[in-house]
Amino acid sequence: MKQGELGKVYVDREIIFKEGSQGDSMFVIQSGKVKITKKTEKEEDLTIAVLGTGEIFGEMALFDKQTRSANAIAMGEARILSIDKKKLFSSISRDPTLVFKMLESMSRRIRKLNDDLTQFKKNKFDVLHACVNLEDTCTLILEEARNLISADNGSVMLLDDKGETLSIKSAFGKKSDSHLQLSVGEGIAGDVLNSGRAELVNNVSMDQRYKAGTAHIKSMICIPLKCNDKNIGVMNMSNNTDRLFTLEDLKVLNALSFYASVAIENARNFSALHDASEQVLRHATLLDM
């Protein structure tokens, strides 16, 4: 089979040009794929785009006279035609309409970047929402728990960053204890956090660990929340009335605790991602216009 063979062949992962280098030509892909990558602040390669046959790249450095803004790397074998800057500009000076197609391609790219950015901002908003509402995540968990079992009160308590104190992130029922804080090992919740074992206590007042608050409860279930083998908090469900919890209730809540832990961890990760995205967005103000 005959091979049409215009251009130069680059092997898989061969660098066509490097970020920061001088640009004397632009390129048109004849066959194969090229990825455009950029180094992040953490020195990791971030793929900005994957381009295919017929697409132009490397034109930016010709027009803004700056160094290459990204790397271009062959993905698999790629055949690339280079177009010399001097020849191109001499042709454009004689026929300015030669840039029509390039402008079309560039504006298509800017449009896509704008779309990406809008999407990114939207995601960022969601992220922001999710992380500001770590408490909401906990509320959601409690709502789910209430759907599964009957209880008069409930709370999700999370360990602080230092890993010393448990505090309530969300609660329902008697509100008076919403500011309750427990040290690790203190009270039934503190002990469950320590042991990592779920407990059903149907006679709370008889339990020596119980630390009475203003709200008087008669029975409770306390489930540890674990992430990567680390106990990050507890979920409590309690009754003021004589209604007792069953072993089945314990099992159901234990199962829920797995998903609850993942949701809480995600909310925390989102918060970290949000901080990073804020940083990236600050660098991308150009496209905000």
Partner 1 sequence: MNNSREGNSQLALDDGAHIAVIGGGPTGTFFSIFALHMARMIGKELNITIYEPKDFTKDGPGGCNRCGGIISELLVQTLAVEGINLPDSVVQKGIHSYKLHTEQGSVSIATPALEKTIATVYRGGGPKGKVSPDIASFDNFLLEQAVREGAVRKPVRIDRIVLKNTKPVLYAKDAEIQEADLVVGACGINSTAPKIFEQMGFGYTEPEKITAAIAEIGLDEKVIADCFGSSINLFLLPDRNIKFAAMIPKGTYVTLCILGKKVTARTMKDFLNNPVTKAVLPDTMPYEIHCSCLPKMNIRAPKKPFTDRVVMCGDAGSTRLFKDGLGAAYLMGKAAAKTAVFDGVGADEFRANYYPVYKSIIYDNYFGAMLYFVIDIYRKWKYLTKAMIHVVDKEQQSSRDEKILSAMLWDMFTGNERYKNVFMKSLKIRMHADMWEGLFKGLVRGKNETG
**Residue ranges that bind partner 1, judged by CB under 8 A:** 1-8, 28, 30-31, 53-54, 56, 81-84, 87-88, 91, 95, 97-98, 100-102, 104-105
User: CB of residue 114 vs partner 1: minimum separation in angstroms?
Assistant: 21
Instruction: Give the strands of the sheet with 181-183, arranged side by side.
Output: 181-183, 165-172, 153-159, 230-239, 219-227, 199-201
Residue 82 has a CB neighbour count (10 Å cut-off) of 15
What residue type is 204 in one-letter code?
V
Q: What is the dihedral of CA 131, 135, 137, 141, to 10 degrees?
A: 160
User: CB of residue 84 vs partner 1: minimum separation in angstroms?
Assistant: 8
User: CB of residue 105 vs partner 1: minimum separation in angstroms?
Assistant: 8
**Closer of 4 and 228 to partner 1 (Cβ):** 4
Residue 277 has a CB neighbour count (10 Å cut-off) of 17
**Closer of 81 and 252 to partner 1 (Cβ):** 81
**Closer of 95 and 161 to partner 1 (Cβ):** 95
As a whole number of angstroms, the distance between CA 16 and CA 25 comes to 11
**Closer of 28 and 74 to partner 1 (Cβ):** 28
User: CB of residue 112 vs partner 1: minimum separation in angstroms?
Assistant: 17
List, in sequence order, every beta strand (DSSP E) within 173-239.
Answer: 181-183, 199-201, 219-227, 230-239
Structure tokens at 134: 């770590």
**Closer of 50 and 272 to partner 1 (Cβ):** 50
Q: How deeply is 233 buried, as exposed, middle or buried, from its count of CB atoms within 10 A (0-12, 13-18, 19+)? A: buried
User: CB of residue 102 vs partner 1: minimum separation in angstroms?
Assistant: 6
